[in-house]
Amino acid sequence: MKKALTTGEVAKYCGVNFRTVIRWIERGQLKAFKLPGRGDNRISIEHFVAFLREHDMPVPSEFQELSRRVLIIEDQPQMAAAIERVLRRAGLETRIVSDSFQAGTQLAEFNPSMITLDLQMPGLNGFHVLDFLRQDDRYRGVKVLVISALSEKQLQSSLEQGADEVLSKPFDNQQLLDKVASLLDLNIVIEREAPGAAEA
């Protein structure tokens, strides 16, 4: 699959005039780069998908695989494994990190469309992660599902700081799937497990 699109191709996918795409680029809404010596704009697939998600626009089917990557930021191995097991059964691609260094590395390398984020981890404050994501142009389009055992007030604070959804621990596996499917605009159908909840 090609790695970058022209302004005309983006315009066609979005159903707008290419001049509209140029305006998005000029306003800093859509990240682009110029070809050396030509000045023509190109938009990476990753930035295009992030732009679509940030503006609640549908992701073309050929780019859907980029919408199935979830980075799990969780320091409790049992909880991380439980989240990963549920998401992988649903056909999602996952990676697990437990500290800020790994999180920063995997954001750049794995290029997730979504993050599940525990707010309270040793040496890693989930609220700081949210601030970083929402202030960095590269990651503003990444969906964030906060999964935490903290109080309702703190969960609400995470929404105010940029989280897209919250899920309290312990939770039912289907609740997790429903929120992920909604955030990534995916039709997730899996065999239901026996009723049970993931414990913090």
**DSSP letter for each residue of 68-90:** GEEEEE-S-HHHHHHHHHHHHHT
CATH at residue 136: 3.40.50.2300
What amino acid is encoded at 200 in this protein? A
Residue 40 tokens read as 């023509």
User: Do 90 and 184 share a structural domain?
Assistant: yes
Ranking 18-27, 120-129, 151-160 by mean pLDDT, the lowest is 120-129
Name the residue with higher pLDDT: 187 or 166: 166
Expressed as residue numbers, the domain containing 28 is: 4-58
CATH at residue 46: 1.10.1660.10
Q: What is residue 66's predicted lDDT score, i.e. its pLDDT? A: 67
User: Do 155 and 74 share a structural domain?
Assistant: yes
Strands 165-168 and 143-148: parallel
User: Do 153 and 110 share a structural domain?
Assistant: yes
**Averaged pLDDT for residues 132-137:** 84
Looking at the chain, the whole-number percentage of residues with pLDDT higher than 70 is 90
Domain end residue (candidates: 58, 77, 95): 58
Q: What is residue 187's predicted lDDT score, i.e. its pLDDT? A: 67
Most confident of 22-26, 42-46, 47-51: 22-26
- Give the number of domains in the chain: 2
Q: What is residue 121's predicted lDDT score, i.e. its pLDDT? A: 76
